Amino acid sequence: MAPPSNRRPGFSRRAQYRRFIGYVIAATGVAVAAVLMLISTLSPGAFSPLRGAARDLTTPLSSGMDTVRGWFGSMTGSIGEHFGAVSENRRLKQQLADSRRLVLQARTLGRENRRLRALLRLRDRNPDTVAVARLVSSSAGSTRRYAVLNAGSRQGVRQGQPVRGPNGLIGRVLETGFNNARILLIIDPESVVPVRRTRDGMPAIIVGRGDGLVEVRAASVANAPFLSGDVFVTSGTGGIYPPNIPVARVVRNASDSSVARVFASPDTADFAMVQQVFMPEAPPAAAGEAIPQAGDGDE
């Protein structure tokens, strides 16, 4: 027969002894605590050795815990400083990139201002200026080299007028519209410019090659030597280009003909100036006006 589930511990002597001992220990603890409290109240100095011994036991543990706590605190601070340094580094990099963009913009504006000032000074010195306008486009992907000028017949631009920039000759007007003009560049194969060498005045002609360079050919001297660095300017021959406009510089030594680089590249010129032709054609005689003949008026 199974024992009942509500059996009390009084039926087991072992359980009774265990419970009795627990009561004794609890009563003893209460009595000891009461005595200790009474002694600490009546004589506080009696526990100084015990407190010192307790401190000796707990001080290393407290020191170790403080070290661990400081290490964790420093590690947290180091992590925060790391992320702060990363954020500051990104901010400084962005600031440096912005500063570089501003510097590049300032340099670009400075170069453009210098070109415009040079062109304005040139226009002020030259009374034959027709118009100053922007070069809006140029044909760089073809052997034929043209440019479009943002000025036309409305501004007084006419066919055949020379076009130059602050650095040198660009070309001549080929066609005109009401507010635009087509420019034949001197680097075009159909362009021929009479020039002279600055160091000795030797006449020559410059012909475009279609690749951004020009060819200098001697006009009257056979096997004429061309030296690297020779500068050629317009001579005024032909009655289109005014004299002394810089045209090109020879890039290598040669004989009879040589390759040269133009001073005014249309790819880098923003503005251009249209001038009057050097020797304009004489106006036609009015209808019915008699042309004087030799000996007229002689009786």
Alpha-carbon span 145 to 185, nearest angstrom: 6
Instruction: Annotate 74-96 with b (16+ C-beta within 10 A) or e (fewer).
Output: eeeeeeeeeeeeeeeeeeeeeee
Give the CATH class of 129-275.
mainly beta
For the chain, the first-to-last Cα distance in angstroms comes to: 179
Structure confidence at residue 296 (pLDDT): 47
Question: Would you state the pLDDT for residue 294?
Answer: 44
The pLDDT assigned to 33 comes to: 77
In this prediction, residue 297 carries a pLDDT of: 44
Residues near 188 by Cβ (< 8 Å), separated by ≥ 6? 144, 145, 146, 171, 208, 210
- pLDDT, tens digit only, all 299 positions of the chain: 455 555 555 557 777 778 888 888 888 888 877 777 776 676 666 656 666 666 666 667 767 776 776 676 666 667 767 777 878 888 888 888 888 877 877 776 776 666 666 666 655 566 778 888 888 877 655 667 888 998 999 999 999 999 998 889 999 999 999 999 999 999 999 999 999 999 888 999 999 988 889 999 988 777 788 999 999 999 988 889 999 999 999 999 998 889 999 998 877 777 888 999 987 656 665 544 554 554 444 43
Q: How many residues comprise the chain?
A: 299
Question: The pTM is what?
Answer: 0.56
Supply the DSSP string of 76-106, one letter for each residue.
HHHHHHHHHHHHHHHHHHHHHHHHHHHHHHH
Per-residue model confidence (pLDDT) at position 73: 65
| Dihedral sign for Cα atoms in the order 243, 248, 249, 254 | negative
